[in-house]
Structure 1
Amino acid sequence: MNYNEKTCFIVTPIGGDNTDVRRSAEGAIDAVIIPLLTDIGFELDNINVAHRMPQSGSINKQLITRILEDDLVIVNLTKLNPNVMYELAVRHAVRKPVVQICEYGTDLPFDITDERTIFYANDMKGVIELKENLLPHIEAAFGEKEIDNPIYRAITSSTILKDVRVTDSEKYLVERLDLIEERIGKTINESRYNSINFNTGKINTYSYNFKATEDFSTLELERRLFDKNAIKSVKIRNITEDLYLMKIATYIDLSPNQLKRIIKNVAGVEIEWIEGALAKNKF
């Protein structure tokens, strides 16, 4: 393929000046992405980086225009920056070529685990490996005739479910397939996460008593916590009207404060911990 007239937009987490996030993102851009793109024929003027765009006019408008119109978008998902995730969703909405990269250890959401993603290490060897893997992914992205992604799949499923001509049985099958896809994505990401980071064979369990200030679904909270790939299993039982017992198993050794912070962020309701009810061991 002739890339001379192709355009590419690079979306990446920024972070503060000289932070690890900023240095890592800039290193990937300057040491790997831009040199590779120019080597295969991209003109330097046709390569834009989100945070390096001129400050004149509406930055948001420029960003969205590039995301919508450029021939290729390369997205760095490291740290799952909210702005980056939003911009990835915009790109998915127009069904155009996109390549995802991220550092090892990034806990990808289940719905994008099976998308085209290159994992790399933030070291010199990682730079070499990223460069080796990036070109095949770019070629594959441009080679796809019908681009598939989570946004398109969700729209397709919704359209089918709303079609009055579709039978209840067919709608049930679509819903079950969506659920299966979600669980497979979770399993794939969990396997990748464990093999990269914590494949030590050690499982830690914790028990907490807590009260919630408002009604909530224990099943929904279990599902949300299970989506966190450091968590192997979670069970929540109602002890009294407003007192709950949670038993949770993790692949890694978390401090009580770390685990409580994860639970509170996921819960969506205020939680009051009943101290003295913590137990930790291996099983």
Structure 2
Amino acid sequence: MTKSAMIKEVIIQLLSDGGSHTVSEMKDYLAQKNMKDYSEGQFAGSVNNLLKNKRIEKIDRGIYRIAGTEIVLPKERNGVSMKRCFVVSPIGDTGTDIRKKADQLYQHIIKPVCEKCGFVTQRIDEFNASGSITQEILDALNDYELVIADLTGHNPNVFFEIGYRAKSQKPIIHLKRKDEIIPFDVPAIHTFEYDLTDLDMVSATKDRLEQVIKNFKYDEVKESKKGSNSFENNIMVASLNDILYKIDVLTEEIKKKENETIKTVIETFNAQKPEPESFETEMMKVLMPALIKNPDAVDALAKLSEKFK
């Protein structure tokens, strides 16, 4: 079997799980199969051949799946039952800045955290477009155990979808880009901030997101009054997590102020510190008291200085 044929076989094996995978995930899977000695040309040629023969299809830049198949979220992974998370966010067209940032948030924050917590994620662009996309979205909002919504950009579809989710009384987490203000005041909406340009904040957001996901109760919420306890517990969890987040922010602000205060004290001290005096001045301070007490020493000092001229 040729190297390209082996690469294609492994790629098909990975995509056969029914999900979509990035180029990076394909290469990682090849490495797991001890296939590392291939060129970029061989890899790209294998992918292009699979596309040409319609064995796989491209659903986004660098993301592929088996052609003509509906994405089926796995119920188990490594023998562990998986829950489902529907990700609501502004997506935009391919190549736009909105799409780039949405993909970064999805791929680098939401998806890895959800997988770590036992969830498989799905975004609107990963749905099977052959059916009613609107109905699939509504079903996901109703049925999935968790919804994570990015309120950045004030997208009207996002606000509609979080409102629709509210009636299910199931867990939902709200995110927004740092320093962006929500255009209305709803006390029940607690948002966690992220900043894709700050790696420290990305790490902190992932930690907070993991904590929130693990704290929620994912019991079946029924339409009867019995479901109200689960709903109320989740509201309490969201509120507590929001308090913890604000404490973290306040702590960071205090540290920042402390650092600024220390810096100001140092700068003030340096500004008030007198300039070092010359050697001659220092010598005069030492000699002058002695010369005053012993005037004859002045003549002796003068004669001594003459010898060095």
Q: Give the TM bin, normalised by the shorter chain.
A: 0.3 to 0.5
Please identify which structure carries the higher helix content.
Answer: 2
Question: TM-score with structure 1 length normalisation?
Answer: 0.47
Q: Which structure has the bigger radius of gyration?
A: 2
Please identify which structure carries the higher strand content.
Answer: 1
Question: TM-score with structure 2 length normalisation?
Answer: 0.43
